[in-house]
Structure 1
């Protein structure tokens, strides 16, 4: 049994997998380890470097899937991904990823689906707080704290580069942190929540916005909890309003229904609108 120590990232696994495929190492002879303590306990801790031009080609679609599955935290993911790569190349199963009933393919698809949901939650629930202004560039600086279930910071952060390109920001998570300075997106090791900034004025803006768009007539508590699970509430400034908004929803709906109907205003006098009405056979009463 050959133990392969890697960092728990797609890039680290990919480099090691290329070397193993080039050396035609069977998946059954490999023990993947992304924990230093685990590496010392099992087998021959051998580093296998990629051999240029020697590794068999793997379809690009596999790397897209592998990059997503690698963000999951299931310890089996490295072994399953290598087994799929082996089956596609040395095993000759070139269309393996098109077979949803295959156990390996199905498992990886489940991981990708879970990671995709987590990225969606990250895009929806990251809340930045202003921490200052860069004296040299004049760019505002923001920091956000997020607690993803999976290691999605690398996959999810490009979304924020496009949306907030004009400001400097950092997204801190327990797994890894992303930083944008207006030109480069880079990553650093994860940190504890104590590193994140405390509440600021932007939290009041989030609460005001959330309160203004809340529609009690369309309230569906179960659907809301499904889309916004409780585990995210502790890091959302607007979450403090949810219980009171739900409690007051019935009274607010009654107030809306009991409100006096506003009178219908006559259409404004406008030559262009008048011509349209005449074309449609309408009159301006």
Structure 2
């Protein structure tokens, strides 16, 4: 059954891509955008991504049937507080935050007890570009969406959000919030932190212009994600600090083994490390 209306809070790259996809797949009759940035709302209206645009939740004259919160994790608590009336009226509310335990904790602080119609979710999709102008209709096609329902999440709301993601081409998987944060710390948050750290390290050297001038494809491939929004990733790293810190510590242990192999010129140890890494990545990319 087609959803009557979807409210998207945060009309940026993710929120705009959702609007694109919902429109393309005719998932809902109406899309309402809410964003403090009037330029973003104007762009989305002109691009026919939304029917209505409001700067604040309180400005919106109607309550959407389904709400998707697409703001940075550091802004979640403020948005939850503004949505308290909507939690009592919407059939389902979800988010796209890159951390899940912090989002659930922010909801608990703003709306205790936890609403039964809230379905935490995280689409494993993105781009280095930000803003609604970077939105694309196929961002979520074939991508995984990790849904981490709370103990209070109702089966009806869970099903509605699951079907919404499936209708725009995503593959939905379920896990608990703690496991989500551990996995994403290792596979997403740590790689971003390392890319930022490497470029920052090189940028501090006196011969920086020459280093970047002769950087080859490997440097570009490894550091591509360092072009992501620094403030967004700062907040993600802080929100997932326990799991990310643990991932950094494990990585430091591997770096120490690499350094020891180099210092002792242990070719067998280096070959074993590099070969194991290649085998693991080849298996991952071929699956």
Is the structural similarity TM-score above 0.5? no
Instruction: Normalising by structure 2, report the TM-score.
Output: 0.31
Point out the structure with max Rg over C-alpha.
Answer: 1
Instruction: Normalising by structure 1, report the TM-score.
Output: 0.31
For CA contacts below 8 A with separation 6 or more, give which structure has more relative contact order.
Answer: 2
